[in-house]
Structure 1
Amino acid sequence: MKGRHTPMYSEQAIDDRGAGAPLILLHSSMSDRTQWRKLGEQLLSRYRVIAIDLYGYGESECPPAPEDFTLAEEAQRVARIIRQRLGDRRFHLIGHSYGGATALRLTHEQPSSVLSLGLYEPVAFHLLASSEPAHRIIRQVAERVAECLAAGNTAAATAHFIDFWSGTGTYQGLPAERQQMLDRYIAKVSLDFQALLREPLKAADYRELTVSVCLLRSRESPLPTRRIAEILERTLPRLEAHWVRGGHMAPISNAGEVNPHWIDFLDRIRE
């Protein structure tokens, strides 16, 4: 008897450790599940920490139909992995950058499943009006990355992306091995832009979310993510927001300041 095929995901694309209430962690573009190791280590005694490699990162598979790839597809894959691990059990959710945008989309689709939502500068570019400077800035970055890839200049595409978020010259200053690893991810970054800029949901679609949200952002980050944070602060009804130092990549580069906010938020929700 033939049944419907359910895709199974590589154990290597998921870290699942600890005990307690489930906590799902979604990383940024150009990263993988290992970016959460410091946070995970601090929470393992109280939470079941599950860090997932998003499509095309770490050891995960690539999207099956890249030309049609959407943010909903990314969120649906995460939802399938969670369901395979947890069944119908509810979970806490934290996402950084592209992982934050995915976490928002997943919470919109399954609001009753999410116990709390932590966001660090979600790159939900679809919340920006197409006429505003923040949208034009990020659209130009996406177009430049796509142009470099189309010309076969992978390193230039990666450098443009990395330097936008972390400062001019950042990519050039990295060791060659690190550059090569990042170059491997840049094609998926272009798909992330595609998914984010084509996403149909608008800010109003998130107004009814009643989950508690902790939003972190940095004054050192580029305009687009600061504007998205402003929009979410006006939109989400149960949101608390905190400033941190370190720019857009602070969850990796300044985890010592970022992680205590997550830990305090989760412990208050748990109590």
Structure 2
Amino acid sequence: MSDTNAAPVVCLHSSAASGRQWRRLVADGGPAWPWHTPDLYGHGSRPDWPELMPNRLSVEANGVLAGLPFAADRGFHLVGHSYGGAVALQVALQQPDRVLSLTLYEPAAFGVLPVTEPREPALREISEAAARLDATLDRGDEFGAARSFCAYWQGRDVWPEMDAAQQLRVAEAMPTVRRHFEALFAAPWRSGLLGQLLMPVQLICGTATRASARRVAQNLALQLPRARLQMLEGAGHMAPITDGARVNALLLESLARMPCVPVVRLRQRGAEAGAAFR
């Protein structure tokens, strides 16, 4: 049983995964927090992306917010990995007064790359990966797209190491992952927007990750006012799944030092206290 006084922790998974990605984190964290690990659209038990809705992070964020199992005025912490990390940032932008903190492992906020350095090699790298996925799906080869997608993020071809059920699950997610790429590149994170997020942000990045993920983390660390970037030696992009023990230790350490009251409410309380002395 969780501590009913503790703020909930909402964990958002990476592309082609599901909320089950966080099982070990929930077990490691135990009853210290109420945990919520939803499936995102087109993943796990969640229906596909809503028909006629644009490929935008706001659509995913609205779905997350609509599914929260607690009161609409209750504050909560956000944990996210890769695409889930980018969705977490979008949720925070939409409801900054409720988000107590962000703890993100390599959020795939590719929309920050063109703004900061248009000729950045990391942008070319991830753009080429997205283009390969598009071209392979256009040929009707979901398994080929899945194999290429996994190889990019793992840094090697891991497809032969996956069983048939895993391969099928990832392949079936590829049309939704194409939507993810479009939403990530289209995110309007222009100069000054991320600067409005005043909650503490813990960014975690592996030293053995892809250039695109590393550059995004570095750029976010510069744009988010209260961000702290921590490097995890030898870890790759998929470390929350492949190296869960080390990553979870950092995530739980981060959550333990986060505030229980949003910055907005702290300001309000300060203003009320000041008024009382006038």
TM-score by length of structure 2 reads 0.87
2:97 is matched with 112
Partner residue of 2:238 out of 235, 249, 252: 249
2:147 is matched with 159
Q: How does 1:1-271 map to 2 (within 5 A)?
A: 18-19=2-3, 20-65=6-51, 68-82=54-68, 84-129=69-114, 130-244=118-232, 245-270=234-259
What is the DSSP-based 3-state SS (H/G/I as helix, E as strand, rest coil) of the residue aligned with 2:70?
helix
Give a deviation string over 1:135-162, Cα, whole Å, max 9, x none.
1111111111111111111111111110
Q: Which one-letter code corresponds to 1:102 in the other structure?
A: V
TM-score by length of structure 1 reads 0.89
Pick the structure with greater CA Rg: 2
Q: Which one-letter code corresponds to 1:50 in the other structure?
A: H
Q: CA deviation at 1:203?
A: 4.6
Q: CA deviation at 1:79?
A: 1.2
Q: Which one-letter code corresponds to 2:35 in the other structure?
A: V
Q: CA deviation at 1:199?
A: 1.6
- Hey, what's the Cα distance between the residues in 2 that align with 1:174 and 1:74? 28
Q: CA deviation at 1:63?
A: 1.2
- Higher relative contact order, structure no. (Cα contacts within 8 Å, ≥ 6 residues apart): 2
Instruction: Assess if the C-alpha contact under 8 Å between 1:159 and 1:172 holds in 2.
Output: no
Percent identity over the alignment is 34
Instruction: Assess if the C-alpha contact under 8 Å between 1:66 and 1:191 holds in 2.
Output: no
- Hey, what's the Cα distance between the residues in 2 that align with 1:111 and 1:42? 28
Identify unmatched segments of 5+ residues in structure 2: 261-278
Give a deviation string over 1:159-208, Cα, whole Å, max 9, x none.
11100000232123322221111111111111100111122222531012
| Over 6 Å off, 4+ runs | none
Instruction: Assess if the C-alpha contact under 8 Å between 1:94 and 1:119 holds in 2.
Output: yes
Q: Which one-letter code corresponds to 2:158 in the other structure?
A: T
Q: CA deviation at 1:66?
A: 6.1
- Hey, what's the Cα distance between the residues in 1 that align with 2:54 and 2:95? 23
Q: CA deviation at 1:81?
A: 1.2
Instruction: Assess if the C-alpha contact under 8 Å between 1:213 and 1:238 holds in 2.
Output: yes
- Hey, what's the Cα distance between the residues in 2 that align with 1:236 and 1:206? 6
Structure 1 residues 193 and 224 mapped into 2: Cα distance closer, same or farther (>3 Å)?
A: same
Q: CA deviation at 1:67?
A: 7.0
Instruction: Assess if the C-alpha contact under 8 Å between 1:115 and 1:211 holds in 2.
Output: yes
- Hey, what's the Cα distance between the residues in 2 that align with 1:260 and 1:193? 29
Q: Which one-letter code corresponds to 1:136 in the other structure?
A: R
